[in-house]
Chain A
Amino acid sequence: MTAHILTWWTILRICLEERLVYRGDFALGTLMRFMPIVTQIFLWTAIFAAAGQTEIAGYTRDNFVAYYLLTMVSRAFSSMPSLASGIALQIRNGEIKKFLIQPIDMIGFLLLSRIAHKLVYYAVAWAPFALVFFLCRSFFTHGWPAPEILAAYVGSLVMAFLLGFFLESLIGMIGFWFLEVSSLLFVYMLFNFFFSGHMFPLDMLPAPWDTVVQLIPLQYLAYFPAAVFLGKIQGPELVQGLCVQAGWVIALIVANRVAFACGVRRYSGYGG
């Protein structure tokens, strides 16, 4: 057991080191991430000024800004840059073989290196995040939510991370069947951006789109955690939402296992 933990610890450490080598990326990346929020503030200010209302679809201007800030947090958990393309590339260039040869589980390895990736990111990014949220505290007109809401929020964030991971790794494993995954991935990213609620709060959508959004898991990547924090989803609705999110995570873990098993069988069938 200790040997096992040691192996995983070593992997985690190597991944951390690898990620720390490029500091130029780091500094730029975290700083720039908040730029779009600025334009959103101005855009919604202009919209509210023209509309002459204090609320649009149940959101005040401050609500909108708070919502966008919170989706940034959700995305910091659920986005998985170059995960799927990395898997597809490893399948294509045969690097995947090392997971078949070495006694390491691929999905576990990738999950761990992604956790390392995220930890390093948060280690640097918490400061700009804290700064921005402090500067923007006036947009959170209700203050901090109740402890149980906060707990639900944290839970939904962790699940957003898992959901994002397993969705992308599943797409990456399509590479076992089709060589070209990048365009598919691009389509996924587009839909993700729109239907996760990164562009606008999903409850603004008219019928029939509101039902479409409910039927796919993408809303749990950005909209759902943010809406929980803002108190838009409460009581039994909240419990139900968290359960559905957990259900999606479990379903995707199963799907990943199945896809990997089938993919490997197909891969070794072809002789690599």
Chain B
Amino acid sequence: MSLIQLDGLAKSYTIYQKQEGLKASLAGLFSREYRTVEAVRGIDLQVEQGEFVAFLGPNGAGKTTTLKLLSGVITPTAGTAKVLGFVPWRRENAYRRRFALVMGQKNQLWWDLPAQESFRLHQQIYRIDAQSFAATRDELVDLLDVRGLLTQPVRELSLGERMKMELIAALLHSPEVLFLDEPTIGLDVVAQHNIQKFLKHYQEFRKITILLTSHYMKDIAALCRRVVVIAKGQIVYDGSLSGIIDQFSSHKVLTLQFANDTMPSDLARYGDVLEIAEPKVTLKVDRNVIADVLSAVLANHTLEDVSVEDPPLEEVIAEVFSQSQSSSPSAAAGAGQGGQETISDVSSA
């Protein structure tokens, strides 16, 4: 039995469909149309102790819903899940003492109080004895370098500092399983890096199991060996980050540098021309025919240099997202957005 085991987990819910226009709003007083949204449609997943798994997917793919299901905040419509041998949505105290959930967009510390007061409250709620509380807190505070901020009201902290405090609060009871939902959202590059560094260190040191959702490829590349791609509520990929390319990219990028100005004019017959900067040309070539194309090029032209590369990862992922979403127009916009964020983020590196 794996530490986390999901079988056919599904969650759908109904939402009120707001109609456009005044007349429809008036009509909405008397009868309403509801729409069923299938947030998660049958997920099977096993995670072993000590794994650091990333959930990757466009907005609305079902990542957060899955995390909420696993933390027992919501109940599924179908399927089963076990975490640490517990059914999460039974919300047994024994389970709730052993995991933590951190949401980058939500804040669970007392806004007007110094973070240390919230920590003390957590100590009482999780019934942590005074000694191990002090030890854990000091360790985390030093690791994240926030000792000087403990006595400052949370509302006066920067977003990055607040996130660090949220992490400390979540880890005070030394959870064995940690769910992280967009922990670096909205943070600047330095703050993101600090959080990543901390998570990596903490996970390696404590050997805890972490499930993370993120939009930022850098988070995932830095932290997770295993990536689960979710789109439209289903798992479309489960494996290593680099494996995504092998599975999803339909083409390779071929760069040719021609010798002594013998640039041919009929390049299009080898593949899609991406860029021409004489005497260099970049082509997009179908994976299946790359060998044939290469030998044809070599037979017909004199080359100075040649390289065959995989397309950039973020491009492949954006493609995966948009493919899986193309059937529903509204979601495709979300996928595009997700893809763009990924691209801009990586290119800023």
Check whether chain A touches chain B (CB < 8 angstroms).
yes
**Considering only CB atoms and an 8 Å cut-off, how many residues of chain A contact the other chain?**
7
Partner of B22, one of A17, A23, A26: A17
A-contact bits for B17-34, CB 8 A (1 contact / 0 none): 010011001101100000
CA distance A16 to B29 in the complex (A): 12
**Considering only CB atoms and an 8 Å cut-off, how many residues of chain B contact the other chain?**
7
B-contact bits for A16-31, CB 8 A (1 contact / 0 none): 1100110100100000
Residues of A within 8 A of B29 (CB): 20, 23, 26
Residues of B within 8 A of A23 (CB): 28-29
B-contact bits for A159-194, CB 8 A (1 contact / 0 none): 000000000000000000000000000000000000
Chain A interface mostly: helix
The verdict on A33 contacting chain B, using a C-beta distance below 8 Å, is: no
The verdict on A98 contacting chain B, using a C-beta distance below 8 Å, is: no
Residues of B within 8 A of A17 (CB): 21-22, 25
Q: Which residue of B is nearest A18, CB measured? A: B25
The verdict on A257 contacting chain B, using a C-beta distance below 8 Å, is: no
Residues of A within 8 A of B28 (CB): 20-21, 23
The verdict on A13 contacting chain B, using a C-beta distance below 8 Å, is: yes
Rounded to whole Å, the gap between the CB of A243 and the closest CB of chain B is 39
CA distance A145 to B37 in the complex (A): 58
CA distance A16 to B25 in the complex (A): 9
Rounded to whole Å, the gap between the CB of B137 and the closest CB of chain A is 33
CA distance A26 to B21 in the complex (A): 19
Contact B22 A13 (CB under 8 A): yes
Q: Restricting to B1-48, which residues have a CB under 8 Å from any CB of A?
A: 18, 21-22, 25-26, 28-29
Q: Which residue of B is nearest A19, CB measured? A: B25
CA distance A16 to B22 in the complex (A): 7
Q: Which residue of B is nearest A16, CB measured? A: B22
CA distance A16 to B24 in the complex (A): 12
10 sampled A-B residue pairs with Cβ under 8 A: A13-B22, A16-B22, A17-B21, A17-B22, A17-B25, A20-B28, A20-B29, A21-B25, A23-B28, A23-B29
Given contacts A13-B22, A20-B29, list 7 more A-B pairs with CB under 8 A: A16-B22, A17-B21, A20-B25, A20-B26, A20-B28, A21-B28, A23-B28
